[in-house]
Amino acid sequence: MAEKSFKYVIIGGGVSAGYAAREFSKQGVKPGELAIISKEAVAPYERPALSKAYLFPEGTARLPGFHVCVGSGGERLLPEWYKEKGIELILSTEIVKADLAAKTLVSAAGEIFKYHILIIATGSAVIRLTDFGVQGADAKNIFYLREIDDADKLVQVIKEKKNGKVVIVGGGYIGLELSAALRINNLDVTMVYPEPWCMPRLFTAGIAAFYEGYYANKGVKIIKGTVAVGFNADSNGEVKEVKLKDGRVLEADIVVVGVGGRPLVTLFKGQVEEEKGGIKTDAFFKTSVSDVYAVGDVATFPMKLYNDIRRVEHVDHARKSAEQAVKAIKSNEEGKTIDVYDYLPFFYSRSFDLSWQFYGDNVGDAVLFGDNDPASPNPKFGSYWIKDGKVVGAFLEGGSPDENKAIAKVARVQPAAVNLDLLTKEGLSFACKI
């Protein structure tokens, strides 16, 4: 089998890989030095589009429209861009074996790739209900969403099952964004999740109450406090019913499952240090193995702001960690140093006419402010999280760009807040004056 050798190899062709390629090009990379090896058939794109405009009946997003780096207002890197720069995009190629000691990767087709420096950017895989042996979970029309091929299957079934019934399993990011997108397609949508409120990883009960009310007003039905324990299919093998733990049975033509992701680190098991389910890195995304870096969803890195070690599964960090790693690689070659990664967590979501942003840490006491009536024509509300007398996190629904900047600043500056009643009363104006 052919053997190819590169100075730099990025394994994975998602968000981090695309932003890393742009940074390599900015820093100077010679033709033939860099290769991106991706299981996907397309050049790196902004993954968040898949659960939003990709599924909309109008104003639909399609490639090449959302290749990186348009999601952060940057240049759109079309496949031609990689060609012009001499960056080899090796697509539809899954790496099935990695030998970090021998600096060798092997693809499913048996191709061998050698590198001097490796960046691991394999992202996450979805957790499947078949992983826990849920009965009937391999029926047709039970979908997951991670890659563009998954999104294409959803687009197809939306066309096939017009006005059909959808059950969404999971009340996290995928659950909330997909139930909105499918409702906009005029499907009959029911969400099912085990927790007392949606998005419990981030939302307080007060924040969640707004979204649950808003979704209900849009016609999305919500069943909380139970899980899907089995599925019945028809004679074609297509899902027809979802059986819940509480005994209820829901009709379904389509099921979408969003019960979490898991970082793709199995290729490197036993070869590199891990922590918190990810590959342990330093503040330059260097792993315990020399010449091997890990970025994006798979990296467990030091978060300077909280003096903690964390893993982040969001696009802003995927972009910034990739840029940091490439800057570190290039400066190292020149014998220079760069500043350590000093990340301020930033998460966001959009659904229906809603749009929220969150910055910082959701720990300590939370206060809610503003108009959080789901029936309001222009709802705008938020939350602050206060720990040890300081505001450490801020959430805002319906903010303007300047207001979102203001809450980001609060989370970064961590101003003192002793009187929580006053903070509730001041609301957004507290952030705007920092």
| Site of interaction with ligand NAD (CB under 6 A) | 51, 124, 169-175, 177, 192-195, 201, 227-228, 258-261, 313-314, 347, 349
The entry of ligand NAD, ligand FDA, none that residue 241 binds, CB within 5 to 8 Å by partner kind: none
Closest of 58, 60, 41, 36 to residue 49, by C-alpha = 60
Instruction: Give 115 or 197: the residue with its C-beta nearer to ligand NAD.
Output: 197
The least CB distance from residue 433 to ligand FDA, in Å, is 28
Residues 6+ apart with CB under 8 A from 24: 8, 34, 87, 326, 330
Instruction: Give 311 or 330: the residue with its C-beta nearer to ligand NAD.
Output: 311
Closest of 424, 370, 365 to residue 397, by C-alpha = 370
Return the bridge partners of 11, or none.
Answer: 37, 120
How does strand 390-397 pair with strand 274-275? Answer: unpaired
The entry of ligand FDA, ligand NAD, none that residue 95 binds, CB within 5 to 8 Å by partner kind: ligand FDA
# of chain residues touching ligand FDA (CB under 6 A): 36
Subset of 68-97 contacting ligand FDA (CB under 6 A): 94-95
Q: Return the range that interacts with ligand FDA (CB under 6 A); candidates 11-19, 195-203, 372-380, 398-406.
A: 11-19
Near ligand FDA by CB under 6 A: residue from 8, 13, 228, 257? 13
The least CB distance from residue 397 to ligand NAD, in Å, is 13
Q: Return the range that interacts with ligand FDA (CB under 6 A); candidates 25-33, 80-88, 117-125, 273-281.
A: 117-125
The entry of ligand NAD, ligand FDA, none that residue 168 binds, CB within 5 to 8 Å by partner kind: none
The structure tokens listed for 104 are 């060798």
The least CB distance from residue 360 to ligand NAD, in Å, is 15
Instruction: Give 68 or 259: the residue with its C-beta nearer to ligand NAD.
Output: 259
Q: Is 404 in the site for ligand FDA (CB under 6 A)?
A: no
Instruction: Give 38 or 281: the residue with its C-beta nearer to ligand FDA.
Output: 38
Q: Strand, coil or helix: what is 48?
A: helix
Gap between the Cα atoms of 199 and 211, Å rounded: 10
Subset of 253-312 contacting ligand FDA (CB under 6 A): 264, 267, 296-297
Task: Identify the helix (H) or strand (E) that includes residue 27.
Answer: helix 15-27
- Between the CA of residue 154 and those of 15, 54, 164, 165, what are the distances in Å? 21, 10, 13, 14
Task: Identify the helix (H) or strand (E) that includes residue 207.
Answer: helix 205-217
The entry of ligand NAD, ligand FDA, none that residue 175 binds, CB within 5 to 8 Å by partner kind: ligand NAD
Q: Is 23 in the site for ligand FDA (CB under 6 A)?
A: no
Torsion of CA 284, 290, 293, 299, to 10 degrees: -80
Gap between the Cα atoms of 373 and 209, Å rounded: 9
The least CB distance from residue 408 to ligand NAD, in Å, is 16
Q: Is 362 in the site for ligand FDA (CB under 6 A)?
A: no
The structure tokens listed for 107 are 């693809």
DSSP 54-94: GG-SSS---TTTTBTTGGGT-----HHHHHHHT-EEE-S--
Subset of 29-58 contacting ligand FDA (CB under 6 A): 37-40, 47-48, 50-51
Q: Is 201 exposed, middle or buried (0-12, 13-18, 19+ CB in 10 A)?
A: exposed
The entry of ligand NAD, ligand FDA, none that residue 240 binds, CB within 5 to 8 Å by partner kind: none
Torsion of CA 406, 410, 412, 417, to 10 degrees: 170
The structure tokens listed for 117 are 């420096």
The entry of ligand FDA, ligand NAD, none that residue 253 binds, CB within 5 to 8 Å by partner kind: none
Instruction: Give 253 or 316: the residue with its C-beta nearer to ligand FDA.
Output: 316
Instruction: Give 194 or 374: the residue with its C-beta nearer to ligand NAD.
Output: 194
DSSP 117-178: EEEE---EEE--GGGGT-BTTTSBTEE--SSHHHHHHHHHHHHHTTT-EEEEE-SSHHHHHH
Residues lying near ligand FDA in the complex (CB under 6 A) are found at: 11-17, 37-40, 47-48, 50-51, 94-95, 121-124, 145-147, 264, 267, 296-297, 313-316, 318, 347-349
